[in-house]
Structure 1
Amino acid sequence: MQLVVGRIGRPHGLRGDVTVEVRTDDPESRFASGAVLATDPASAGPLVVASRRWHSGTLLVRFAGVDDRDGAEGLRGTVLVVDSADIPPSDDPDEFHDHQLIGLTVVTPDGERAGEVVDVLHHGQDLLVVRRGGADVYVPFVKALVPEIDLEAGTLLVDGPPGLLDPDQMA
């Protein structure tokens, strides 16, 4: 399974740096010098990270062999991916990678099936995107609301206030 870890944005400067829209919970290791990233489209890669730095909250990356603004512009819009099999499991039993959560069945404390996790968003507060019927609801990924995750059973318990999983209650 290919996991999206970022998307290349506009060039930054004249020496081949690009902005990267980060889509991973571990940008420090995913974009470490020497890291090899597959791409979509595949014809753009693989790309090897030559250097990376943060600038005003934006990740700037330079890839090996991309030495000027024109080369950087040619990468704009390229999606950066890694193989989920290459990501080691966490030693912390309360820490999960996004790909482990996506696809889990959401259940309520009384055992009712309430939907499926279709994405995990990282916007300061991690949010589970739960598809319930034809609509998506957003559940803050905190222990108080998601007290139990059973990867072997493929389930995630959501125990929140009434209306949390009701798409009609979203503002």
Structure 2
Amino acid sequence: MFSDWGFSWGGWLDNRRGEWWLLAQLLLITAHLLPVWPSPASFGLLIWPLPLFGLGLLFLALGLFRVIEALRSLGASLSPLPAPKLSNQLIATGAYTICRHPLYRALLLCSAGVVLATGSLLHLLLLFSLAVVLRGKARFEEEGLRAVHPNYTQYAAVTPAIVGWMPGLDWR
């Protein structure tokens, strides 16, 4: 499976298939397990407001649902690396009708859920950092998709990248 995705020791050294983007993404996602900082008590709150906690959990659950939906839509074209697999198909159906990178959008939704549920400034910084990394990874990915799918440019012109209404996350 790893060789089918294009992993190689050389790639980890020179980033030929976007391995560094993947590593940054995984580190930032894992960093979401860090404790809340600063604590709500730093803001004078004994506990974080329950409505924000609930909304955060809702965002997190919706994000996880969207992750599964995006993974199912990709099917055999799934690869954790941003460079397209040699056998990939251009997917423009299912979750990919809403945006070109629904998996990245879902990860950002999960991250925003953690921020809302905890009120953590550290996790807010992680959300912004993850958005920057996913934007870079998506742009790297799109270079490869344009090279192997002549109709990708047309698809990209009418479909938002990650979040259509958010500056920096759509570059149509």
Which structure has the greater CA radius of gyration?
Answer: 1
- TM-score interval w.r.t. the shorter chain? under 0.3
* TM-score (norm: length of structure 2): 0.21
Structure with the bigger percentage of helix: 2
Structure with the larger RCO, 1 or 2 (CA within 8 Å, 6+ apart): 2
User: TM-score, length-normalised on structure 1?
Assistant: 0.21
